[in-house]
Amino acid sequence: MSIPVLAARDIHKSYGRGATRFDALKGVSVDIQQGESVAIVGKSGSGKSTLMHLLALLDNPTTGSVELSGRDASGLSGRVVNQTRNETFGFVFQQFFLTPNTSVLDNVTLPLQIAGIGGAERKRRGMAVLEQLDLADKARNKATDLSGGQKQRVVIARALVNNPSVIFADEPTGNLDSATGKVVEDILFSLQEEKGITLIIVTHDEDLAARCDRRVYIRDGLITDSLHAVPAATAATIATAQEVRA
Amino acid sequence: MNAFDLIRSAVKNSLRSKTRTILTVLSIFIGAFTLTLTSGVGTGINQYIDTTVASIGADDVITVTKAAEDGTDGPVEYDPTAVAVDSPNSPPGAPGFSLIALTTDDLDSIGAIDGVLSVQPQLSVSPDYVQVADGTAYEANVGSFIPGMELDLAAGAEPDAASSDYEVAVPVSFVTPLGFTDDAAALGAMLTLAITDVTGTQSELRATIVGVSEEGLAGSTAFTANKVLTEALYDAQSGGLSESSKDSYAQAVVRFDPTGAEADLTTLKSDLSDLGYTGTTVEDQIGSFKAVIDGIVLVLNAFAVIALLAAGFGIVNTLLMSVQERTREIGLMKAMGLGGGKIFGLFSLEAVFIGLMGSALGVGVGMLAGMGANAVLADTLLADLPGLTLVAFDPAALATIILVVMGLAFLAGTIPALRAARQDPIESLRYE
Ligand SMILES: Nc1ncnc2c1ncn2[C@@H]1O[C@H](COP(=O)(O)OP(=O)(O)OP(=O)(O)O)[C@@H](O)[C@H]1O
Ligand SMILES: [Mg+2]
């Protein structure tokens, strides 16, 4: 088996200390292969976002380790971690986090700006990705003036603009009606198919989870189940009951 | 993020909350404006003093007087040897100034002091009129030309101190009245000076016009005569005076070697005071005046700096609010890989930009206000002091003000900028 692009090795994460100490993750191990789509499923407060943040190197586990292409991330310098998050990862957070009073284009090209890419190149790539998401006509609008569905697409555009190899999406359809949610899902899965992007999707929506190659169930900080979907071609016709246990 | 984007973002961010930024800029503006004006006044007055000193000139000259003993408080006893009223050399414009006249003996003993190159009594002459050929006669003041002095010349040359011919420089305002078509036409012409002695005998002297002097403060409207002419005028004026009156002077001018060490001058002065004389250089007279001006300007500047310090806290406050408001944005940028150093740079640049706006505005408006004040004052309060621009601007001083304010803003910005740089991205993203 190839080296997983990301792996969690028995990670624990606790918040606070003393009486208010709370163990959000209590020993989670998971391997994520390049090009795979993984759903992290669980109830609210189960620790999904916490796990995603740890895998995305946004936070450090209390114990255990996160491995990036087989290397322990705790050994990496801050600069390398920043560069990885900037160039290799794309983020869709649970909230939109759009900068108010700033144009859609500027919001979308933020990762490129952080990377130090020049204005003309930024604009070209930003417009290309907005085109892809049917938002080219909104490029000059203020980000805060868009509808919820449009904002979600802007957020996805921002996650894509730097051509990442891993996209982390926390409830990407949570704020959307089912039709718009479907559009956003289609965008994400077509990217996975066309560009071989690794998708890590946090959701409590079973239908969305079912479209992923693998579902990781988490409850009270522990992984309870990990299911592999049957190949995508047959998945549509075969009921979920026929899925194979990993 | 590259440098250009950092600056652009910082500028954009500072303009995001306009009211708040304007208020902070205003508080800096007040400080910078005040500092511009106070230092402008300092520069203006000192510049004026410097040009005046240059035209009085003679940095190798000590004016020597014999001061009356002034050891006791209260009324000064009458001293029959204090300056003779009939001496033509009583110091002008110094009433109640108790001086003992210098005699030829005094001059000899001063001349004997080590380091004294020459000693000359200061002669004051007041001719009745000046005239060219048979033209109109005008009243005039005549001053003596001391080598080392710099005449601000409109044409020609300075009177030659070493020459044995009578030479004179005429003020520019006399050129036309004396019947010359222009400044150059006056050069080489003969000027008649008439002077009367105590017995009422008027004599006339003829001098060559060698230069035309601009009307500075010191040059003013006086004719400048060379040494031989001054002495000749003095002799003519002293006819009928007793020998002791003629040979008593309020002041003497001592020359020394100006290239020598500072200590030489100090010894020379203490030698003079040991003999009971007081020696003052032009530096001394102007220097103490300058020290007073500098002191006043320093106090005024201190007030402006206090205003700027207050403005510095305004910057801290503004940026802390800005950091607070943009917690999530900072978190997002950090999550997307922007390093803490760049975040620090972003906020401190914002502070520096606010500082730049405030100080540039303050300096700009300060300069306008200063020029306005100059224009108004030149015709009113300061009309009697031509050549004095009350508020003058030294580019280096103005640049310093702007740089200092920007530096102060940077320092003020470090507190909020550090806070922003240290923010934990996850905590920031959770911030509601
Ligand atoms: N900074 C924190 N301090 C204290 N407790 C925290 C902190 N962050 C998360 N938690 C707790 O950890 C648990 C897991 O949080 P997490 O955000 O991972 O949940 P989640 O599975 O993403 O839930 P949701 O579906 O509602 O987003 C929660 O009980 C939460 O209260
Ligand atoms: Mg969550």
Cα–Cα distance, B169 to B72 (Å, whole number): 46
B1 vs A contacts (CB less than 8 Å):
113-116
Strands, E assignment, chain A: 6-15, 22-32, 37-41, 63-68, 71-72, 89-92, 166-170, 198-203, 214-219, 222-228, 244-245
Yes or no, beta carbons of B332 and A113 under 8 Å apart: no
The complex scores an ipTM of: 0.89
Position A240 scores a pLDDT of 45
Query: In whole numbers, what is the pLDDT of chain A averaged over residues?
Result: 88
| The pLDDT of residue B149 is above 60 | yes
Q: Bigger pLDDT: B296 or B284? A: B296
Q: Is any Cβ of chain A less than 8 angstroms from the Cβ of B329?
A: yes
Phi, psi of B17 (to 5 degrees): -105, 85
The closest alpha carbon to B40, from B297, B295, B359, B287, belongs to B297
B426 vs A contacts (CB less than 8 Å):
53, 58-59
pTM: 0.71
Q: Is any Cβ of chain B less than 8 angstroms from the Cβ of A18?
A: no
Structure tokens at B214: 């601009």
**Residues having CB within 6 Å of any atom of ligand 1:** A 15-16, 22, 24, 42, 44-50, 94, 204
| The pLDDT of residue B85 is above 50 | no
Which tens digits make up the pLDDT trace of A206-244?
889 999 999 999 999 999 888 777 554 444 444 444 444
Position A233 scores a pLDDT of 45
Contact B421, B343 (CB under 8 A): yes
Q: Quickly list DSSP for B323-384.
A: HHHTHHHHHHHHHTT--HHHHHHHHHHHHHHHHHHHHHHHHHHHHHHHHHHHHHHHHTTTTT
R_g over Cα of chain B? 32
Structure tokens at B163: 């020459």
Structure tokens at B368: 């306008």
3-state secondary structure (DSSP) of residue B426 = helix
Which tens digits make up the pLDDT trace of B13-47?
888 888 999 999 999 999 999 999 998 988 888 88
Cα–Cα distance, A93 to A114 (Å, whole number): 18
From chain B residues 66-85, the ones with a CB under 8 A of any chain A CB are none
Give the nearest chain B residue to A116 (CA atoms): B1
Cα–Cα distance, B385 to B387 (Å, whole number): 6
Nearest CA to ligand 1 atom 31: A45
Kindly report which listed range (A41-50, B59-68, B71-80) carries the lowest average pLDDT score: B71-80
> How far apart are the CA of A51 and the centre of ligand 1, in A?
10
Which tens digits make up the pLDDT trace of A143-159?
889 988 889 889 999 99
Q: Bigger pLDDT: A41 or B250? A: A41
How far CA B257 is from CA of A47, B117, B339, in Å, comes to 91, 7, 66
Contact B424, B347 (CB under 8 A): no
Closest Cβ–Cβ partner in B9, B329, B335 for A85: B335
Q: Is any Cβ of chain A less than 8 angstroms from the Cβ of B335?
A: yes
B263-276 as b/e: b if 16+ CB within 10 A: eebeebbebbeeee
Kindly report which listed range (A147-161, B145-159, B178-192, B310-324) carries the lowest average pLDDT score: B145-159
The shortest C-alpha distance from B11 to chain A (Å) reads: 13
Nearest CA to ligand 1 atom 3: A15
Position B69 scores a pLDDT of 55
Q: Is any Cβ of chain B less than 8 angstroms from the Cβ of A99?
A: yes
Position B244 scores a pLDDT of 72
- First CA to last CA distance, chain B: 26
